Amino acid sequence: MRKLYLHTYFFIWLLCLMGLFIVAFFWEAVFPIAQGILYLFFFLCFVDFVLIFAQKKGISAQRILPERLSNSDENLIRISLKLHYPIGMYVKLIDEIPFQFQKRDFQYTMFLKVGQEKYFEYYLRPTERGEYSFGKLNAFVYSPLCLLMKRYISCEDAKVATYPSFLQMKKYELIAFSQRLFDFGLKKIRKIGHTMEFEHIRDYVQGDDMRTINWKASSKRSQLMVNQYQDEKSQNVYTLIDKGRSMQMPFEGLSLLDYAINTSLALTNIIIKKQDKAGIFTFSQKVEDRVIADRKSNQMQRIMEVLYNIQTNFLETDFSRLYTDINNNLKQRSLLLLYTNFETKNSLHRQLPYLKAIAKKHLLVVIFFQNTELDRMIHKTSQDIKEVYDKVIAEKFSFEKRLIAQELNRHGIQCILSTPQNLTLQSINKYLELKARAMI
């Protein structure tokens, strides 16, 4: 494999020499000067060649990749460089990153001192799930003479799988279990009623609710005793993900399906941490992927593997098949979080009978998307009559989204109309609210 390359300055030298010899052709007095500069140029090339190629392994380079990439997040890629030359060298680094990122100008130049080890970092944001292939890591080394370069190749082809956003999952897990929920947009919901499960009896501590005093136990111990309760656990919570063509609409590089998948992963993690059972259905013309609700230690991994392989099939969604499958497989009342999208009231009315039938036996929350592109168009100042018409049409479609939400509420079906960016926060809010209100 060819390792010797010519630096840009090498060609600049050649152009200057050619110009000098052209002048010498017409003016002989300049010829000795041109000849002397030519000899100097060859001597410098020889010195540069010795400096670069005298060391067999002049530089060590290694690309440090994560075990897997997190979709829609900034993923850290690290490169370590160590110079073994006896003098300082310039290094031009070219990493062959996966073609999905479409970065054709990815190169960095730096100067390394003798024996210096340096870490270089950059971030990649994938917008598709699947396998990403990294190519070679190329390090071009050249001396301060800047005439010749030697290429070192490290880190042969490597493949890394991109999973649904597990970084977002960890982030929202930390937020949901911290005491600063309001700072991140999560509402603190006051618990309504007294629908908690009995756990044990303990000594009364100042500040305990007087209504929880166990008078029978207090009389036996001759001191106040109170009943300790815990939240009801092991409730079934399913996320239902629509894979139809309406979920393929793109927003900021991601499809609505990817937003739903990332949210489902983050929400499922919190559900399991809250001691509830989490499951998942994916469907379009039929239910294709199904993970029955559970809270075993491997449940998160099972759900992540299912979410990793979900793709839109561009078909019209059949909610009747979803209703039939739920009716046959879910005998216990469950919380169903349905991620789908309705653009018009007509599209809702076609599916409304099946949604109402599901809501009779289960607590159904329909989560659909607000079109942020329409909002930008509505708030944009119109410059001509065409933009006025576009703005009116955008307002009509935006208003219809709100009418869809009202229609669902009118039939006793809870719903969330969310922007793609706020989908995770609003979904977690809704789950915590329903838990606090003892509706599941």
pLDDT of residue 1: 44
Lowest mean pLDDT among 99-103, 191-195, 221-225: 191-195
Distance CA 407, CA 424 (A): 23
Q: Is residue 142 included in any domain, yes or no?
A: yes
Report whether pLDDT(197) > 90.
no
| Same-domain status, 226 and 92 | no
| Same-domain status, 85 and 6 | yes
pLDDT of residue 192: 46
Distance CA 279, CA 330 (A): 11
Q: Could you tell me how far CA 57 lies from the centroid of its own chain?
A: 39
Q: Which residue has the higher pLDDT, 175 or 439?
A: 439
Q: Is residue 53 included in any domain, yes or no?
A: yes
**Can you read off the two tokens belonging to residue 73?**
């997040």
Torsion of CA 165, 168, 170, 173, to 10 degrees: -130
- 3 state SS of 118: strand
Q: Please write the tens of the pLDDT for every residue from 310-361.
A: 888 778 888 999 999 999 988 888 999 999 999 888 989 999 999 999 999 9
| Same-domain status, 61 and 144 | yes
Are 232 and 197 in contact by the 8 Å Cβ rule? The answer is: yes
Q: Is residue 195 included in any domain, yes or no?
A: no
| Same-domain status, 301 and 424 | yes
- 3 state SS of 219: helix
List all residues 6 or more positions away from 392 whose beta carbon is below 8 Å from its beta carbon: none
Q: What's the number of domains the chain is made of? A: 3
Report whether pLDDT(177) > 80.
no
pLDDT of residue 340: 93
Max avg pLDDT among 26-40, 70-84, 231-245? 70-84
| Same-domain status, 5 and 87 | yes
When pLDDT is averaged across residues 289-312 and rounded to a whole number, the result is 88
When pLDDT is averaged across residues 129-138 and rounded to a whole number, the result is 90
> Which range of residues forms the domain containing residue 218?
200-230
Report whether pLDDT(377) > 90.
no
| Same-domain status, 71 and 175 | no
When pLDDT is averaged across residues 188-214 and rounded to a whole number, the result is 69
pLDDT of residue 178: 59
Give the H/E segment covering residue 153.
strand 148-154
List all residues 6 or more positions away from 367 whose beta carbon is below 8 Å from its beta carbon: 260, 337, 338, 339, 340, 415, 416, 418, 423, 426, 427, 430
The residue assigned the tokens 């208003």 is 399
Mean pLDDT value across the chain: 85
Report whether pLDDT(393) > 60.
yes
When pLDDT is averaged across residues 112-138 and rounded to a whole number, the result is 89
**Can you read off the two tokens belonging to residue 281?**
């259905």
201: left (phi over 0), alpha (psi -120 to 50) or beta: beta
- What pTM was computed for the model? 0.76
Lowest mean pLDDT among 45-59, 120-134, 168-182: 168-182
Q: Which residue has the higher pLDDT, 4 or 100?
A: 100
Q: Is residue 104 included in any domain, yes or no?
A: yes
Q: Is residue 135 included in any domain, yes or no?
A: yes
| Same-domain status, 395 and 293 | yes
| Same-domain status, 367 and 282 | yes
| Same-domain status, 341 and 260 | yes
pLDDT of residue 335: 93
| Same-domain status, 11 and 131 | yes
| Same-domain status, 17 and 115 | yes
**Can you read off the two tokens belonging to residue 302?**
């099972």
| Same-domain status, 182 and 145 | no
pLDDT of residue 185: 53
Q: Please write the tens of the pLDDT for every residue from 284-297.
A: 888 888 899 988 88
DSSP lists the bridge partners of residue 400 as none
Q: Which residue has the higher pLDDT, 65 or 193?
A: 65
Q: How many CB atoms lie within 10 A of CB 394?
A: 19
List all residues 6 or more positions away from 320 whose beta carbon is below 8 Å from its beta carbon: 354
Report whether pLDDT(180) > 90.
no
pLDDT of residue 389: 84
